[in-house]
C-alpha cells in the first residue's frame, strides 16, 4: 500500500520571505569554506569578541549550577539591572516589572508586535528599514505603512511626514535610530518632533528599537523617546547585547514596556520559548554594569571605520551615499550602474544583479537593498564590521569594478 503524506505548509509561512541579510551571510560562509577569497560586507555582526568579563560570568554561572528554568521574563537580578541601565543611561523612568528579557532583540520585537496588534492595525515606519520589521508586522496580522525617504534627507522622515501617515487604524510607529540599513540617525530635536506628532493620538504606541544606541559618532547624542514625559507610557523600548557588546550569538534582548504590554509579552513568551538560556542572565548583568570601557573601545574603532568608509565610498564613480552617523552600515545609491555591463560581462539591471556580479567577479559581498523597502532597490548595504585592512581591500575591489563598467 502506498503511503502519502500531506506536506502542505501554511499560507503564513509561504507569504514570508527569508531574511536576505542572513542569506548573504550564509553564502559568504559557504564560499569561504570552498576556499574563495571573499570580503564580506554583508553581516550585521561585530567582528570583535564578546568581552571576557561577560563570557566569564556565563561560565561561572554554569559552574555554579545555573542550568535550570528561571522566571519567563528573566531573573529579578537581571530585570533590575536592565531597569537600572535604562534609568541611569537613558533617563527612562521604569521598574523591573516593566522588563521582559527575550531570545534576542529580534524576538523582543516580534513579541511586541504579537502583544499589540490585531488584524487591520497599521504600523508606520520610515523606509528604507531593516528587512524583518515588515514581516513581523504582517505575522501579527497588521499592515506595514511606509514613509518613503531618500538619501537627500539622510533617509530621515520629518515629524510632519509621521503626522500625515497616522490614521485611525494606526496602532504603532517604529523608530530605529541609529538605523539599519542606512547608518543615519535622528538628532534629539527630531526625536522630540516625531514624539510631538504622535502624542495627540492616544491609541498610537511608539516602538523604539535602540539596539545601536551605543554606536554613535562625531559627538552625536542618542535620545530615548521613553525619557520624554509625554511618551513614558506610550513607548516600548527594545535593546539587547548583540551589537554594542558583540554578542550576536548569545540571543539576549530586552524590552521595557508599559506594564500591560510587558505582561502580555511575558504570557506569550511562556507559551513560545519560556525564558532565555538561564546562564546568560548573569552575563547580561555583568555586561550592563561592568563593561563600559569595552563598549567605548569598540565604538571608537567603529567610528574610525565609519570615517574610512565615508572617504572610500565617496570616491566611487557615479555612487552617492550619506555619511554614516551611527551603527556600522552605509547604504550607497548604485543606480548609476543600472543598464551597464560589468567587466565580466554581467548585465547590471538592479541591485540584485549588481550584488551578484560584484560577488562573482571580485569576491566582495554586499546586500541588495530591495528588501529594505523605500528607495532600497537603488541601493546596496555594506556593513563595516570588519577590520580596516579588509575595508580598504574590499572598497578598492569595488572601485576598480565600477571603473570597468561599460
Note the pLDDT tens digit of each residue in 323-378: 999 999 999 999 999 999 999 999 999 999 999 999 999 999 999 999 899 999 99
Q: Please tell me the distance from the alpha carbon of residue 307 to that of residue 215, in angstroms, as a whole number.
A: 13
Q: Please tell me the distance from the alpha carbon of residue 220 to that of residue 186, in angstroms, as a whole number.
A: 10
Q: In whole numbers, what is the pLDDT of the chain averaged over residues? A: 94
Please check whether residue 364 is in contact with residue 32, taking contact to mean a CB–CB distance below 8 angstroms.
Answer: no
Instruction: Note the pLDDT of residue 29.
Output: 81
Instruction: Note the pLDDT of residue 2.
Output: 55
Q: Which three cell numbers stand for residue 298?
A: 569598540
Instruction: Note the pLDDT of residue 4.
Output: 57
**Mean pLDDT within 192-200:** 97
**Mean pLDDT within 156-164:** 98
Q: Please tell me the distance from the alpha carbon of residue 39 to that of residue 393, in angstroms, as a whole number.
A: 8
Instruction: Note the pLDDT of residue 382.
Output: 97
Indicate left, alpha or beta for 141 from its phi (over 0: left) and psi (-120 to 50: alpha).
Answer: left
**pLDDT, tens digit, for every residue of 261-303?**
999 999 999 999 999 999 999 999 999 999 999 999 999 999 9
Instruction: Note the pLDDT of residue 261.
Output: 98
Please check whether residue 181 is in contact with residue 43, taking contact to mean a CB–CB distance below 8 angstroms.
Answer: no
Instruction: Note the pLDDT of residue 16.
Output: 77
Residue ranges of domains in the chain, CATH in brackets? 11-49+294-403 (3.90.1150.10), 68-291 (3.40.640.10)
Residues 6+ apart with CB under 8 A from 189: none
> Helical H runs in 46-171?
52-63, 76-90, 104-116, 133-139, 159-165
Q: How confident is the model at residue 24 (pLDDT cuts 50, 70, 90)?
A: confident
Give exposure, 177-187, as e/b (b: 16+ Cβ within 10 Å): bbbbbbbbbbe
Please check whether residue 159 is in contact with residue 196, taking contact to mean a CB–CB distance below 8 angstroms.
Answer: yes
pLDDT higher than 60, residue 1:
no
Residue ranges of E strands in 89-210: 99-102, 122-127, 143-148, 170-176, 205-209
pLDDT higher than 90, residue 108:
yes
Task: Cell 570601557: give the residue.
Answer: 293
pLDDT higher than 60, residue 155:
yes
Residue 8 vs residue 189, higher pLDDT:
189
**Mean pLDDT within 199-214:** 97
**Residue 361: Cβ within 10 Å count:** 16
pLDDT higher than 90, residue 8:
no
The region of weakest confidence among 19-28, 89-98, 188-197, 393-402 is 19-28
Q: How confident is the model at residue 26 (pLDDT cuts 50, 70, 90)?
A: confident
Instruction: Note the pLDDT of residue 327.
Output: 97
pLDDT higher than 80, residue 17:
no
The region of weakest confidence among 31-35, 111-115, 220-224, 235-239 is 31-35
Q: How confident is the model at residue 3 (pLDDT cuts 50, 70, 90)?
A: low
**Mean pLDDT within 60-66:** 98
* Nearest alpha carbon to residue 397 among 34, 37, 86: 37
Q: How confident is the model at residue 59 (pLDDT cuts 50, 70, 90)?
A: very high
Residue 37 vs residue 256, higher pLDDT:
256
Q: Please tell me the distance from the alpha carbon of residue 291 to that of residue 296, in angstroms, as a whole number.
A: 9
Q: Which three cell numbers stand for residue 134?
A: 515588515
Q: Residues of the chain with pLDDT > 90: what percent?
A: 89
By DSSP bridging, strand 122-127 and strand 143-148 are parallel
Q: Please tell me the distance from the alpha carbon of residue 383 to that of residue 390, in angstroms, as a whole number.
A: 12
Amino acid at each position: 500500500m502506498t503511503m502519502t503524506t500531506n506536506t502542505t505548509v501554511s499560507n503564513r509561512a509561504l507569504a514570508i520571505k527569508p531574511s536576505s541579510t542572513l542569506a548573504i551571510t550564509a553564502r559568504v560562509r559557504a564560499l569561504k569554506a570552498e576556499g574563495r577569497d571573499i570580503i564580506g560586507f554583508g553581516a550585521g555582526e561585530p567582528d570583535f569578541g564578546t568581552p571576557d568579563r561577560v563570557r566569564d560570568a556565563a561560565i561561572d554561572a554554569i559552574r555554579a549550577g545555573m542550568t535550570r528554568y528561571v522566571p519567563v521574563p528573566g531573573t529579578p537580578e537581571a530585570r533590575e539591572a536592565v531597569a537600572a541601565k535604562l534609568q541611569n543611561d537613558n533617563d527612562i523612568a521604569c521598574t523591573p516589572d516593566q522588563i521582559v528579557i527575550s531570545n534576542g532583540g529580534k524576538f523582543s520585537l516580534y513579541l511586541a508586535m504579537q502583544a499589540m496588534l490585531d488584524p487591520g492595525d497599521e504600523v508606520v515606519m520610515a523606509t528604507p528599514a531593516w528587512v524583518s520589521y515588515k514581516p513581523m508586522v504582517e505575522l501579527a496580522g497588521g499592515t506595514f505603512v511606509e514613509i518613503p525617504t531618500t538619501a537627500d534627507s539622510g533617509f530621515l522622515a520629518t515629524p510632519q511626514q509621521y503626522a500625515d501617515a497616522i490614521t485611525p487604524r494606526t496602532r504603532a510607529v517604529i523608530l530605529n535610530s541609529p538605523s539599519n540599513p542606512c547608518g543615519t540617525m535622528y538628532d534629539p530635536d527630531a526625536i522630540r518632533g516625531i514624539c510631538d506628532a504622535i502624542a495627540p493620538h492616544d491609541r498610537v504606541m511608539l516602538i523604539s528599537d535602540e539596539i545601536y544606541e551605543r554606536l554613535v559618532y562625531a559627538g552625536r547624542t542618542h535620545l530615548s523617546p521613553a525619557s520624554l514625559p509625554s511618551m513614558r507610557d506610550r513607548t516600548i523600548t527594545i535593546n539587547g547585547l548583540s551589537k554594542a557588546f558583540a554578542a550576536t550569538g548569545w540571543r539576549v534582548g530586552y524590552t521595557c514596556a508599559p506594564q500591560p504590554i510587558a505582561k502580555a509579552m511575558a504570557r506569550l513568551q511562556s507559551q513560545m520559548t519560556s525564558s532565555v538560556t538561564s546562564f546568560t542572565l548573569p552575563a547580561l548583568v555583568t555586561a550592563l554594569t561592568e563593561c563600559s570601557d569595552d563598549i567605548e573601545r569598540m565604538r571608537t574603532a567603529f567610528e574610525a571605520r565609519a570615517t574610512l568608509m565615508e572617504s572610500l565610498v565617496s570616491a566611487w564613480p557615479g555612487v552617492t551615499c550619506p555619511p554614516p552617523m551611527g551603527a556600522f552600515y552605509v547604504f550607497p545609491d548604485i543606480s548609476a550602474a543600472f543598464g551597464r555591463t560589468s567587466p565580466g560581462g554581467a548585465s547590471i539591471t538592479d541591485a540584485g544583479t549588481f550584488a551578484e556580479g560584484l560577488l562573482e567577479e571580485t569576491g566582495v559581498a554586499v546586500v541588495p537593498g530591495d528588501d529594505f523597502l523605500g528607495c532600497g532597490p537603488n541601493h546596496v548595504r555594506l556593513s563595516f564590521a570588519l577590520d580596516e585592512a579588509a575595508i580598504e581591500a574590499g572598497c578598492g575591489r569595488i572601485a576598480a569594478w565600477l571603473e570597468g563598467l561599460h
